[in-house]
């Protein structure tokens, strides 16, 4: 692979730092790495392959100035909407982790284990899907290829790190508050990232509520699944829930297939699937959990596979993945690997 001039935009954020780490761990062919963030991070230095690289302020001219070939964006949708087209017009290929372009017809939405061929249709921008969509489809694609999935119902249990570093700090502060003062003190805690304290709690809303009473996060899973699978007719319904976990998203997934897929067949398919680790021996408590399998892990873990006793061709399963790695940084770097 030829070496590339690579940029990470949003380098000081949780996902941006994970992108830098992932580039190094996977030995991506980086000729030169440039790091960008907002003014408040200017001058900060981040380590990459034994060197300290200064963080620069993102400006319109940097893509041409440094001849950046691939830019990994994780700076939020508003920044991506402004700077991604500028980068693309400068000859940079943008891999964007925000929701800014995911549903644009001209922008491929790619999970390398699911639809790698879509990268060749890019026009300068490739979108990284939502973290919950990524891990679900990595697990479901082997089954979908064997027997088309007609319907998906998913409930997510999403870690606070999906809301950024300040959300992690808020959970930790709330836990300290509870330990020191008990439930009543925790109830008086004034959160800033979530509508209620998240410690010892679950909150059944992620992102804003839309007119159809689904949240924006829930509709991301619906619409992104259809686009990635190129299947506008697949029926998808989701409920997304924030839980007091620092890292690692979990999902309970129900599917209905066109022809019957037994749990044994599903296990066979998943045991041979790229990017999947099967952990399915519930009698011996072998199943994935976010604490054990959602920290600094690259695979999507699947367990608790069983027949859905409420429908003829149904399966139920439990899926866990590191939301900052496979749900964001790793998926973006894998897309970059497809390009080179």
The DSSP code for 13 is S
Query: What's the confidence (pLDDT) of residue 77?
Result: 95
Strand partners, 235: 151
Domain residue limits, the chain: 4-129+329-339, 133-166+179-323
pLDDT of residue 306: 98
pLDDT for res 1: 64
Q: What is the pLDDT of residue 34?
A: 98
| The two domains 4-129+329-339 and 133-166+179-323 share their CATH topology (first three levels equal) | no
Question: Residues 114, 92, 70, 76: is their CA dihedral positive or negative?
Answer: negative
Of 122, 230, 249, 293, catalytic: 249
In this structure, which topology does domain 133-166+179-323 adopt according to CATH?
A: Dihydrodipicolinate Reductase; domain 2 (3.30.360)
Q: What CATH number should be reported for the domain whose range is 4-129+329-339?
A: 3.40.50.720
DSSP 3-state of 251: strand
Q: Are 204 and 195 in contact (CB under 8 A)?
A: no
pLDDT reported for residue 43: 85
Q: Counting Cβ atoms within 10 Å, is residue 301 exposed (0-12), middle (13-18) or buried (19+)? A: buried
DSSP assigned state of 326: I
Distance in angstroms (rounded) separating the CA atoms of residues 35 and 47: 11
Whether 295 is catalytic: no
User: CB count, 10 Å around CB of 216?
Assistant: 15
10-residue averages of pLDDT along the chain (340 residues)? 93 96 97 95 93 96 97 96 98 97 97 98 98 98 98 98 95 98 97 97 98 98 98 98 98 98 98 97 98 97 97 97 98 97
Q: Which of 131, 230, 293, 295 is catalytic?
A: 131
Measured between its terminal Cα atoms, the distance across the chain in Å is: 6
User: Got the DSSP string for 38-65?
Assistant: -GGGTT-EEEETTEEEEEEE--TTHHHH
Given this model, what pLDDT does residue 301 score?
98
Give the predicted TM-score (pTM) of the model. Answer: 0.96
């Amino acid at each position: 692979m030829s070496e590339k001039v690579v940029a990470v935009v949003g380098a000081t954020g949780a996902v941006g730092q994970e992108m830098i780490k992932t580039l190094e761990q996977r030995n991506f062919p980086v000729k030169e790495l440039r790091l960008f963030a907002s003014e408040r991070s200017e001058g900060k230095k981040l380590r990459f392959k034994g060197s300290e690289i200064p963080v620069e302020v993102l400006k319109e001219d940097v893509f041409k100035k440094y001849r950046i070939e691939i830019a990994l964006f994780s700076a939020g949708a508003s920044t991506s909407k402004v700077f991604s087209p500028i980068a693309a017009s400068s000859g940079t290929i943008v891999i964007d982790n925000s929701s800014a372009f995911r549903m644009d017809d001209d922008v491929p939405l790619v999970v390398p284990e699911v639809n790698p061929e879509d990268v060749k249709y890019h026009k300068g921008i490739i979108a990284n899907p939502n973290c919950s969509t990524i891990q679900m489809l990595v697990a479901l694609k082997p089954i979908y290829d064997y027997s088309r999935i007609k319907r998906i119902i998913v409930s997510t249990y999403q870690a606070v790190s999906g809301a950024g570093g300040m959300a992690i700090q808020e959970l930790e502060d709330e836990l300290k508050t509870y330990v020191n003062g008990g439930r009543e003190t925790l109830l008086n805690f004034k959160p800033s990232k979530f509508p209620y304290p998240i410690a010892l709690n679950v909150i059944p809303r992620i992102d804003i509520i839309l007119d159809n009473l689904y949240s924006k996060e829930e509709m991301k899973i619906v619409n992104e699944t259809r686009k990635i699978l190129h299947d506008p007719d697949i029926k998808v319904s989701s409920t997304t829930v924030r839980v007091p976990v620092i890292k690692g998203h979990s999902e309970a997934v129900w599917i209905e297939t066109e022809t019957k897929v037994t749990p044994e067949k599903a296990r066979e398919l998943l045991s041979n699937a790229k990017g999947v680790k099967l952990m399915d021996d519930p009698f011996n408590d072998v199943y994935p959990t976010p604490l054990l399998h959602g920290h600094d892990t690259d695979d999507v873990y699947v367990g608790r596979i069983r027949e859905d006793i409420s429908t003829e061709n149904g399966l139920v399963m439990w899926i866990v993945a590191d939301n900052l790695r496979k749900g964001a940084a790793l998926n973006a770097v894998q897309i970059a690997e497809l390009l080179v």
